[in-house]
């Protein structure tokens, strides 16, 4: 379990079985979930033994006591809900800590932040606080806004506070301070209070599954386990323990009438993805919790009553009560249809090879991918493009999306200024992959499909040779070929031989795309047999 115990003595710790952040104080643990859902209950105050014959003074006295109780109870009960948190994500532990406020400024206990990350201790000498972290020494002085970190001065952006031996540093400079102490990159989302140490991040894509009506497939680069809440018109996923980060755009729109949009937000140490739906939605998990599929709740799909159920009129009436959250680790739906996944490599911030001063590999591969889709569909082969725009996609994302879709073939497109003609690659698998039962090792998932991939490569090469395009069949140590659970090839297109400008000529693209599509068609029988 990645989640570890938090700083002891603060009254909060992770429950590693349920994954919930719980409070030791029973009163607070009772009210946290209530307030979280926005359902604040008012506790009635009853005083037994009172009669109506009391004097006005007594009434006034109790009124004053009542007001005091009201005020104090509001303070007591409201404080947990308004409690600020910071979430820290690192390779060794993901955890959440409370943030305290002093003189209008947010502070965090530095020892608590560092404790799960390494060997840390602190000593207090008068107003001086000395922190030892993995052989590093950091010196702070109460009331001073400077600290001595790795023998250089560091501006804390506010006074250091020493409270009962506990060192508090201003939250605003926690990111650069941790960078200095840890000696590595730290990304701090200050507004939402989320700290990412090193390269910790979980990216995700969201796409309507073309094979299944009204099905939104969200692929995450690591397993996730969000809290899910439904309300009429939306489904919310709250990620407090996973370093989920924003996609390219905070708002996503889909060409689907039932699930038209989704949005991403961060607040108080938590990432939140909200999916809008015109019908009640539910979520299913698959692919080792790397994939979440959002689809209409079963009642919403057909709106048909079960045999012996209520009359049709009653069943068709829209339910005012939100459906229960259904979270079941089920196998992903598997449309049994023959289709290809075409992957235009690179994209977005990742440009690939600079083919010329103006021409990037990512642009050529996208044009080629569109041409290939046209050629495949002209031959009756449905095609799913992993990207149809200038967006950044990780290799894991591409592999997850492909594996979830269960295509017959995956074709990754590259472009190069080196050499000439077309090079077709199959996977060069790394060592160390070990399958466990029905589960394939991620790094060598391609292994059972390698012979099928080689057959595809031969078929493509044959078609290209027929069209007089120089072609080579090679092995590539390149992801995501290794991770694909279907026949998978990478096609690297170089200029035909006359110059780099011809690489992006429509005639050459048409020639290559047509040959590749013809090669896929001629091996379709093998591909269908191999599924």
Partner 1 sequence: MTSRSLLIGVVILLSVALGAGVYVWNMRRPALSEAAAIYAHPVAPPVSGPTERVILVVAYDDAGVLLPESANIPLPEDRQRRAEELLRALLNRYLEKSSSHPLPAGSEVRNVYLVDPGLAVIDLSAALADGHRSGMLVEELTVASLVDTLSVNLPGITRVKFLVDGKPRDTLAGHADLSDFYDVSNVGRMVHALQASQ
Q: Does 519 bind partner 1 (CB under 8 A)?
A: no
134 contacts 122 by C-beta, under 8 angstroms: no
Per CB under 8 A, the segment of 44-52, 113-121, 146-154, 347-355 that binds partner 1 is: 347-355
Q: Does 416 bind partner 1 (CB under 8 A)?
A: yes
Looking at the Cβ atoms of 33 and 419, the one nearer to partner 1 is: 419
Could you tell me the smallest distance in angstroms from the CB atom of residue 468 to partner 1?
Answer: 17
Could you tell me the smallest distance in angstroms from the CB atom of residue 472 to partner 1?
Answer: 4
Per CB under 8 A, the segment of 113-121, 258-266, 301-309, 417-425 that binds partner 1 is: 417-425
Beta-bridge partners for 426: 475
CA distance 40 to 31: 8
Report the residue count for the chain.
531
Q: Does 464 bind partner 1 (CB under 8 A)?
A: no
- Picking from 294, 292, 297, 293, the residue whose alpha carbon sits closest to that of residue 276 is 294
Q: Does 347 bind partner 1 (CB under 8 A)?
A: no
> Binder to partner 1 among 477, 498, 501, 510 (CB under 8 A)?
477
Distances in Å between the alpha carbon of 176 and those of 142, 169, 171, 188? 20, 12, 10, 8
> Binder to partner 1 among 20, 179, 256, 350 (CB under 8 A)?
350
> Considering Cα of 503, then 506, then 507, then 512, what sign does the dihedral take?
positive
Per CB under 8 A, the segment of 141-149, 187-195, 249-257, 424-432 that binds partner 1 is: 424-432
> Binder to partner 1 among 443, 447, 462, 465 (CB under 8 A)?
443
What's the gap between Cα 68 and its chain centre? 46
Per CB under 8 A, the segment of 59-67, 76-84, 110-118, 346-354 that binds partner 1 is: 346-354
Q: Does 414 bind partner 1 (CB under 8 A)?
A: yes
Kindly identify the residues of this chain, within the stretch 480-509, that bind partner 1 according to CB under 8 A.
482, 490, 492
Q: Does 395 bind partner 1 (CB under 8 A)?
A: yes
Q: Does 459 bind partner 1 (CB under 8 A)?
A: no
- Total number of residues binding partner 1 (CB under 8 A)? 31
Q: Does 431 bind partner 1 (CB under 8 A)?
A: yes
Annotate each residue in 154-173 with x if it binds partner 1 (CB under 8 A) or - if it does not, as one string. --------------------
CA distance 466 to 302: 51
CA distance 143 to 162: 8
Q: Does 472 bind partner 1 (CB under 8 A)?
A: yes
Per CB under 8 A, the segment of 261-269, 295-303, 430-438, 445-453 that binds partner 1 is: 430-438
What's the gap between Cα 359 and its chain centre? 31
Could you tell me the smallest distance in angstroms from the CB atom of residue 456 to partner 1?
Answer: 16
> Binder to partner 1 among 352, 495, 496, 514 (CB under 8 A)?
352
| HSE of 123, CA atoms in CB hemisphere, 13 A | 3
Could you tell me the smallest distance in angstroms from the CB atom of residue 417 to partner 1?
Answer: 7
Q: Which helix (H) or strand (E) holds 74?
A: helix 56-82
> Binder to partner 1 among 367, 417, 447, 458 (CB under 8 A)?
417
- Picking from 80, 101, 120, 244, the residue whose alpha carbon sits closest to that of residue 171 is 101
Beta-bridge partners for 262: 252, 275
Could you tell me the smallest distance in angstroms from the CB atom of residue 477 to partner 1?
Answer: 5
CA distance 112 to 92: 15
Q: Does 358 bind partner 1 (CB under 8 A)?
A: no
Per CB under 8 A, the segment of 62-70, 230-238, 281-289, 419-427 that binds partner 1 is: 419-427
296 contacts 258 by C-beta, under 8 angstroms: yes
SS (H, E, C) 461-480: HHHHHHCCCCEEEEEECCCC
Could you tell me the smallest distance in angstroms from the CB atom of residue 184 to partner 1?
Answer: 10
Could you tell me the smallest distance in angstroms from the CB atom of residue 346 to partner 1?
Answer: 7
* DSSP-derived secondary structure for 318-342: PPSSPPPP-EEE-PPP-----EEEE
CA distance 46 to 50: 10
Distances in Å between the alpha carbon of 80 and those of 12, 26, 99, 270, 300? 12, 12, 12, 16, 37
Within 8 A by CB and 6+ apart from 82, the residues are: none
Q: Does 390 bind partner 1 (CB under 8 A)?
A: no
Point out which residues bind partner 1 (CB under 8 A).
Answer: 346, 350, 352-354, 361, 395, 414, 416-419, 423, 425, 428-432, 443, 472-479, 482, 490, 492
């Amino acid at each position: 379990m990645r989640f570890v115990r938090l700083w002891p003595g603060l009254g909060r710790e992770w429950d590693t079985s349920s994954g919930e952040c719980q409070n030791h104080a029973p009163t607070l643990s009772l009210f946290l979930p209530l307030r979280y859902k926005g359902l604040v209950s008012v506790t009635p105050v009853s005083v037994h033994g009172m009669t109506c014959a009391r004097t006005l003074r007594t009434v006034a006295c109790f009124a004053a006591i009542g007001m005091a109780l009201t005020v104090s109870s509001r303070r007591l009960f409201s404080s947990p809900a308004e409690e600020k948190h910071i979430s820290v994500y690192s390779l060794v532990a993901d955890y959440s800590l409370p943030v305290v406020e002093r003189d209008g400024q947010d502070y965090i206990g530095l020892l608590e932040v560092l404790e799960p990350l390494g060997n840390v201790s602190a000593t207090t000498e008068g107003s001086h606080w000395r922190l030892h972290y993995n052989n590093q020494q950091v010196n702070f002085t109460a009331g001073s806004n400077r600290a001595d970190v790795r023998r250089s001065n560091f501006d804390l952006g506010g006074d250091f506070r020493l409270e009962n031996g506990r060192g508090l540093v201003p939250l605003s400079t926690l990111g650069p301070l941790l960078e200095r102490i840890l000696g590595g990159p730290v990304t701090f989302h200050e507004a939402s209070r989320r700290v990412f140490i090193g390269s910790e991040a979980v990216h995700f894509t969201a796409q309507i599954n073309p094979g299944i009506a009204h099905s939104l497939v969200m692929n995450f680069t690591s397993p996730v386990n969000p809290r899910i809440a439904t309300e009429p018109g939306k489904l919310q996923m709250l990620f407090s323990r996973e370093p989920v980060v924003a996609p390219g755009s905070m708002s996503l729109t889909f060409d689907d009438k039932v699930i038209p949009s989704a949005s991403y937000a961060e607040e108080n140490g938590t990432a939140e993805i909200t999916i809008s739906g015109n019908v009640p939605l539910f979520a299913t998990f698959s692919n080792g919790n790397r994939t979440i599929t959002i689809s209409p709740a079963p009642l919403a799909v057909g709106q048909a009553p079960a045999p012996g159920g209520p009359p049709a009129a009653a069943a068709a009436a829209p339910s005012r009560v939100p459906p229960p959250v259904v979270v079941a680790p089920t196998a992903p739906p598997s449309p049994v249809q023959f289709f290809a996944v075409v992957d235009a490599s690179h994209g977005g911030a990742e440009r690939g090879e600079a083919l010329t001063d103006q021409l990037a590999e990512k642009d050529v591969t996208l044009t080629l991918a569109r041409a290939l889709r046209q050629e495949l569909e002209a031959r009756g082969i449905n095609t799913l493009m992993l990207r149809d725009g200038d967006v950044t996609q990780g290799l894991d994302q591409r592999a997850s999306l492909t594996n979830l879709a269960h295509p017959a073939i995956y074709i990754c497109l590259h472009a190069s200024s080196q050499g000439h003609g077309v090079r077709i690659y199959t996977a060069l698998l790394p060592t160390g992959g070990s399958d466990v039962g029905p589960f394939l090792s991620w790094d060598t998932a391609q292994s059972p499909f390698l012979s099928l991939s080689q057959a595809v490569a031969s078929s493509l090469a044959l078609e290209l040779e027929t069209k007089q395009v120089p072609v080579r069949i090679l092995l590539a140590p390149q992801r995501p070929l290794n991770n694909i659970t279907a026949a998978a090839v990478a096609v690297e297109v170089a200029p035909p031989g006359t110059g780099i400008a011809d690489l992006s000529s429509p005639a050459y693209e048409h020639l290559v795309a047509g040959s590749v599509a013809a090669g896929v068609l001629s091996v379709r029988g093998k591909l269908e047999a191999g599924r």
